[in-house]
Amino acid sequence: MPHIETQSEWEARMAGKILDFVRNEICVDLRFLQPAFSVLERKPDTELNAFATDGNRLYFAPEWMISVFRKNPAYLDRAYLHTILHCIFSHPWIGGNFERTLYGLACDIAVEYTIDRLDKPCTRRALSYMRQQFYEKMRREKQAVSAAVIYRVLIEETDAEYIRALQMEFYTDDHRYWPREEKLSAAAGAAQKKWNKVARQMTLEQKRRGEEKEEGEQLLAAQVQAGKSRRSYRDFLQKFSVLREEITCDPDEFDLNYYTYGLHIYKNMPLIEPLESREVKKIQEFAVVLDTSYSTSGELIRNFLKETFAVLSEQDSFFTQCRMHIIQCDEKVRSDVEIKSREELKQLLTDFTVVGGGGTDFRPAFSYINELVEQGVFKNLKGLLYFTDGKGTYPKKKPAYQTAFLFLDDYDGSAVPPWAMRLRLEPEEFGRKEKRERSGEQI
């Protein structure tokens, strides 16, 4: 007897055809985006009233999609592109410590601004007065528009009604499946790498065409770069971890002798004795240098330390035996505090005072750390983190240990030595997300 198609099966099949149609319409106007539309696995979700994604799947309600296609098919073109651009710009993975609701709004505005500037036939729409006003406000900022820059504007906004109006104006897709910072998984990391590859392919395709980019395409490329430059500080710290055996109970491995002995004596009752050591990757030795010159904010320095300590205080970050130096330096080394335990880390944060206020020279800190290495104070120095605004004199010679400069906002990349890693941080990452919570404002 032939299978009789159910209503839900018919809806799923029709939704698939609609998605194919929408994808083809978008790719006619934006050919360089074609590879991006084959990345997401399609997954029906009847609870949704918009598209949603986790970077691996595209979630949608078939009934909703069919209904929208009947009434306003052009809306689906824009909504589908909106969700794809979130992934290309790495929005689901670079939120860091930003307040989640405001960050989601900032991402929506960044994507909608890009689509409006692209001004393609498949996604063109009349700009509302609110959009025109907000876009003009962003142009007055005189910075490349990105989610982080928009977030900076939103976090200063005190009118909760205005924020709610912006949310209604720019809402396009559902962010419920975006991974949370504290629950980032290996699958989420793999998804981000996959989309980074798509972004590179897209950029290469634009270059291959050899055509001069239109204004909207230039904006799109700039946002791809903004997403690339923002990486999780928590993940970045893992570059300074080392693999070493540590004495601790390992629940994943056990002594086979006890296991077989239990089976032999009790027949069906193996004896499980976890091993008392395991190989783990943790931070053992590294140095943090704080640029305490007049051009660096003391509040940001303290908030940066709070975030660093929060990461390092987690159970799986530090070896039991560890050594870390917190060094303050402007044009010369002002202080050095050695940390050997979580308790000392916590105490330093309580007693910490910024010392400095002079000019900026990175070389004295490197000379000082090199002396500590020569003296044997550091026996296995994994690396150096230098927190700075970037306005200083860099050493010319590459040190024997990994070095990363952590910059606030924009910096002169041409001045940074090629041997140094670099990470751009946003001031809002460190301590600013609580601002609304402290004021009692609910959004």
- CATH number, position 405: 3.40.50.410
Identify whether residues 79 and 163 lie together within a single domain: yes
Residues 184 and 83 reside in one and the same domain: yes
pLDDT at residue 441, rounded to an integer = 39
> In percent, how much of the chain has pLDDT > 90?
38
Assess whether 112 and 14 both reside in one domain. Answer: yes
Q: Is the pLDDT of residue 432 over 60?
A: no
SS (H, E, C) the chain: CCCCCCHHHHHHHHHHHHHHHHHHHHHHHCHHHHHHHHCCEEEECCCCCCCEECCCEEEECHHHHHHHHHHCHHHHHHHHHHHHHHHHCCHHHCCCCCCHHHHHHHHHHHHHHHHHHHCCCCCCCCCCHHHHHHHHHHHHHCCCCCHHHHHHHHHCCCCHHHHHHHHHHHCCCECCCCCCHHHCCHHHHHHHHHHHHHHHHHHHHHHHHCCCCCHHHHHHHHHHHHHHHCCCHHHHHHHHCEEEEEEEEEEEEECHHHHHHHHHHHCCCCCCCEEEEEEEEEEEEEEEEEECCCCCCHHHHHHHHHHHHHHHCCCCCEEEEEEEEEEEECCCEEEEEEECCHHHHHHHHHHCCCCCCCCCECHHHHHHHHHHHHCCCCCCCCEEEEEECCCCECCCCCCCCEEEEEEECCCCHHHCCCCCEEEEECHHHCCCCCHHHHHCCCC
Is 276 among the domain residues?
A: no
For residue 278, being part of any structural domain is answered with no
For the stretch 85-97, pLDDT in tens is: 999 988 998 877 7
| pLDDT attached to residue 113 | 92
Residues 56 and 178 grouped into a single domain: yes
* Of 61-65, 219-223, 271-275, 337-341, the least confident: 271-275
Residue 135 has pLDDT above 60, yes or no: yes
Please check whether residue 275 lies inside any domain of the structure: no
- Check whether 174 has a pLDDT greater than 90: yes
At residue 243 the predicted structure's pLDDT band, cuts being 50, 70 and 90, is: very low
Note the pTM of the prediction, 2 decimals: 0.68
Same domain, yes or no: 213 and 359: no
Same domain, 165 and 300: no
> What was the pLDDT predicted at 248?
47
Same domain, 46 and 169: yes
Tell whether 145 is covered by a domain: yes
Same domain, 216 and 297: no
What pLDDT shows up at residue 327? 94
Q: What pLDDT, on a 0 to 100 scale, did the predictor assign at position 167?
A: 96
Residue 253 lies in a domain: no
Residue 273 counted as domain residue: no
- The share of the chain scoring above pLDDT 70, in percent, equals 72
Do 307 and 384 belong together in one domain? Answer: yes
- Pick the range with the lowest mean pLDDT from 61-65, 88-92, 233-237: 233-237
Q: Is the pLDDT of residue 24 over 70?
A: yes
Residue that finishes a domain, picked among 210, 230, 250: 230
Last-in-domain residue among 230, 248, 271: 230
- Structural domains counted in the chain: 2
pLDDT, mean over the chain:
80
Which of 15-24, 408-417, 419-428 ranks highest by mean pLDDT? 15-24
- 226 and 292 together in one domain: no
Task: Tell me whether residue 251 is in a domain.
Answer: no
Mean pLDDT highest for which of 113-122, 205-214, 274-283? 113-122
Q: What average pLDDT does range 205-209 have in this prediction?
A: 70
End of a domain among 207, 230, 253? 230
The mean pLDDT value for 73-81 works out to: 95
Shared domain for 105 and 196, answered yes or no, is yes
Residue of 141, 81, 138, 137 whose CA lies nearest to 111: 81
Residue 247 scores a pLDDT above 50: no
Q: What is the pLDDT of residues 313-366, one digit of tens each?
A: 654 555 455 678 999 999 999 999 998 877 887 888 888 888 888 888 999 999
Q: How far apart are CA 258 and CA 264, in angstroms?
A: 10
Q: What is the mean pLDDT of residues 68-85?
A: 95
Domain-embedded: residue 287? yes
Q: Tell me which residue range forms the domain holding 221.
A: 7-230
- pLDDT, tens digit (0-9, with 9 covering 90-100), for 383-397: 898 988 888 899 999
Q: Are residues 139 and 31 in the same domain?
A: yes
